[in-house]
Amino acid sequence: MSKNFMTLQFAAKSENESFARVTVAAFIAQLDPTLEEIHDIKTVVSEAVTNAVIHGYEEDANGIITISAVIDGANIEITIADNGKGIENVEEAMQPLYTTKPELERSGMGFTIMQNFMDEMNVESKVGEGTKVTLRKKITLNSMIS
Name the strands in the sheet holding 4-11, side by side, starting at the edge strand that comes first in the sequence: 4-11, 64-72, 75-82, 130-138, 120-126
Q: List Cα–Cα distances, 108 to 115, 133, 135, in angstroms.
A: 13, 16, 18
How many beta carbons lie within 10 A of that of residue 29, not counting itself?
10
Q: List Cα–Cα distances, 138 to 65, 81, 126, 134, in angstroms.
A: 24, 21, 28, 14
Strands (DSSP E) contained in 31-129 are 64-72, 75-82, 120-126
Q: Which residues are catalytic?
A: 47, 51, 106
> How far is 59 from 74, CA to CA, in rounded Å?
35
Using DSSP, state whether 48 is helix, strand or coil.
helix
